[in-house]
Amino acid sequence: MADDIPFDRTFDLKPGKAEEIAPGVRRLLADNPSPFTFKGTVSYIVGRGRIAVIDPGPDDARHISALLDAVHGETVTHIFVTHTHRDHSPAAARIKAATGATVVAEGPHRAARPLHTGEAVRLEASADMEFRPDLSLPDGEVVSGDGWSLEGVATPGHTANHMAFALRDSEFLFCGDHVMAWSTPVVAPPDGAMSDYMASLHKLAQRAETVYFPGHGGAVRDAPRFVAHYIRHRAGRESSILRRLEKGAADIPTLVRAIYIGLDPRLVRAAGLSVLAHLEDLVARGIVATDGPASISGTYRLVSG
């Protein structure tokens, strides 16, 4: 199903060892591999001397000390956070405590829409609810340090507060979990919203940056073309859902079985949430109907025209 995207799963970075990937850009892998994080979270270091860290990573003592070792003798002036999932933001607190750096992000964690009954538990399982930035960066605003400037590019969808950061005067965009070379990210309500996610993809497709550095896995090359593949892939998934619903009403497990062939069993729940994200969007657009608000346990049918 996902073969339409030219994925690149080559990524041989070892945890704990910083590596320079471009002049003034280093990366460091946390040792938290999983089906969602690939080999682990990638933290980035921008600049030399007076530097910024992008996505400090999970609250993992070894990763935090490796990160502080990698910048030994330098000053961390800023910590940028693309979004507040537990594999990206929690280390900000300890790195700030060690360095006094200013924490920059779009804002605290929040749901993409008002919660339905019982959804708060799911939201809090994956989210860093304690996170508060020192500086809430509006879309398009720039933070400058010593020899680098990063522009906030609001990219809601994976989470409501997701923000990519464009390195000014370069072709690089630090894109968090919005786009990845090895997989598509989970867009899971109530954290995420498919309509926002698609709008953010279209926004990135208009931008000039050609190389993306994601929160997991290697760089995305030829990024605008890759983003176009992503947009087509999501449109294809929506068509698959509609094709299945043409045969009759269905619940989410039925749709997952029809759409995701050969799915890793560990990803079934996430696939269900991704389908829910599409269904929320289709219900909002009046194409699909369900009883009550779109929910993971609902049954869905086409609105016949």
Query: What CA–CA distance (Å, rounded) separates 90 from 10?
Result: 27
**φ, ψ dihedrals at 202, nearest 5°:** -65, -35
Shortest Cβ 27–Zn ion spacing (Å)? 17
Amino acid at site 261: I
- Here's the x/- map for Zn ion, 210-229, by CB under 5 A: it reads as --------------------
Cβ–Cβ < 8 Å for 288, 300: yes
Q: What is residue 34's DSSP assignment? A: B
Name the helix (H) or strand (E) containing 62: helix 61-70
Shortest Cβ 85–Zn ion spacing (Å)? 3
* Residue 255: C-alpha distances to residues 198, 232, 244, 251 (Å): 21, 19, 7, 6
**Count of chain residues binding Zn ion (CB under 5 A):** 2
Name which of residues 168 to 197 contact Zn ion (CB under 5 A): 177
Q: Kindly tell me the burial class for residue 291, based on how many C-beta atoms sit within 10 Å of its own C-beta (0-12, 13-18, 19 or more).
A: exposed
Name which of residues 9 to 48 contact Zn ion (CB under 5 A): none
Shortest Cβ 69–Zn ion spacing (Å)? 25
Q: Which is nearer to Zn ion, 85 or 122 (CB)?
A: 85
- Here's the x/- map for Zn ion, 95-134, by CB under 5 A: it reads as ----------------------------------------
Name which of residues 69 to 88 contact Zn ion (CB under 5 A): 85
Closest CA to 204 of 186, 226, 188, 237: 226
Q: Which is nearer to Zn ion, 145 or 189 (CB)?
A: 189
Q: Which is nearer to Zn ion, 34 or 65 (CB)?
A: 34
Shortest Cβ 261–Zn ion spacing (Å)? 25
Q: Which is nearer to Zn ion, 27 or 85 (CB)?
A: 85
Q: Which is nearer to Zn ion, 63 or 85 (CB)?
A: 85
Q: Which is nearer to Zn ion, 85 or 237 (CB)?
A: 85
The residue at minimum Cβ distance from Zn ion is 85
Strand arrangement of the beta sheet that strand 142-144 belongs to: 142-144, 149-154, 163-167, 172-176, 211-214
Shortest Cβ 40–Zn ion spacing (Å)? 13
Q: Which is nearer to Zn ion, 78 or 158 (CB)?
A: 158
Q: What is residue 116's DSSP assignment? A: P
Residue 55 touches Zn ion, criterion: CB under 5 A: no
Strands (E), the chain: 19-22, 25-29, 42-46, 50-54, 75-80, 102-105, 135-136, 142-144, 149-154, 163-167, 172-176, 211-214, 250-251, 288-289, 299-302
Binding site for Zn ion (CB under 5 A): 85, 177
